[in-house]
Structure 1
Amino acid sequence: MKQDLRFNLEDISQIIIGAFALAIPISFSQEAWELGETLPFTNLLLLLFLSFFFLGFYTYQSIFQGNVKYRMFAFIFRVVVAYLIAFVVVSLILFSIGKLPIIDETIITIKRIIVISMPASMGAIIVDGFDKE
């Protein structure tokens, strides 16, 4: 039976909950804040690459079950949207705890969000994939 892999409100809610579940404990960690301040740019790019690589790998294997030949747009869309939603969730959490100095320290803010978005995005895509198998 062919599964319908459209992206809907249920998927969005699953991604938000998954991202939130992993972002909360990490966002409250001083180590994550400091890592966002001190991480070199090349390491930050590596984290971003690893985030998309593992999101893509999990999505390919678990959600699409290796069948993306005729659904490449849906595959890429799901990976990018999952990361972006996790990015927004992390931003909101950091903002709510006063650790998002977007105006005063924009670079540190972006670095903190990227550092915490890596595990948050993995939680997001895993929860999204629960009902796809």
Structure 2
Amino acid sequence: MNFHFNGEDAGQIVIGAFALSVPIAFSEESWHLAQTLPLGNMALVVLLSLAFIALFAYQSVFQSNIVRRLAVFWLRVIIAYVLTLAVVSVVLIALDKWPMWAEPVLAIKRTLLIAMPASMGAIIVDSFDKE
């Protein structure tokens, strides 16, 4: 399995995630939406995030050629999403809106909600340097 992922790729994902998470993380609406959204809807948000990352990576990063690189494809999607979650968490920590110790469910819901658009920014910027 030939897996090409380096610091430049990680940096692109982090920059893309940061670029789209910051404006949304500053929105009080997103904080409240995360409080009121049921867990079923949050699961749908995660599935949509992963589906759109996968679709974009398939079309753009891998140029529809994943037959012999299926594991690499899914690994890249997962890495992009995990890095996005980390970036969103750090942004929310900086804004004092990530109450992981006091209200962990709320912190996770805020992270997942804001990660939806941020993950798209992450994979789009990652695609600037083709696989």
The normalised TM-score by structure 1 is 0.95
| SS at structure 2 position matched to 1:7 | coil
Partner of 1:15: 13
Gaps of 5+ in 1: none
Match for residue 118 of structure 1?
A: 116
Q: CA deviation at 1:50?
A: 0.2
Which one of 35, 40, 43 corresponds to residue 41 of structure 2? 43
Q: State the alpha-carbon separation in 2 of the partners of residues 127 and 54 from structure 1.
A: 14
2:96 corresponds to: 98
2:51 aligns with 53
Take 1:123 and 1:68, find their aligned partners in 2: how far apart are those partners? 22
Q: Return 5+ residue gaps in structure 2 as ranges.
A: none
* 4+ runs deviating over 3 angstroms: none
Q: Deviations over 1:49-95 (max 9, x none)?
A: 00000000000010101110110111001100000000000000000
Counterpart residue identity of residue 8, structure 2: E
Q: Distance in 2 between matches of 1:77 and 1:5?
A: 9
Q: 2:75 aligns with which of 65, 74, 77?
A: 77
Deviation at 1:130, TM superposition (A): 1.2
What letter corresponds to residue 7 of structure 2 in structure 1? Answer: L
Q: TM-score, normalised by structure 2?
A: 0.96
Taking the aligned partners of 2:72 and 2:8, their CA distance within structure 1 comes to: 16
Residue 31 of structure 1 aligns to a residue whose secondary structure is helix
Q: Deviations over 1:73-130 (max 9, x none)?
A: 1100110000000000000000011001101100000000000000011000000001
- Whole-Å separation in 1 of the counterparts to 2:6 and 2:72: 12
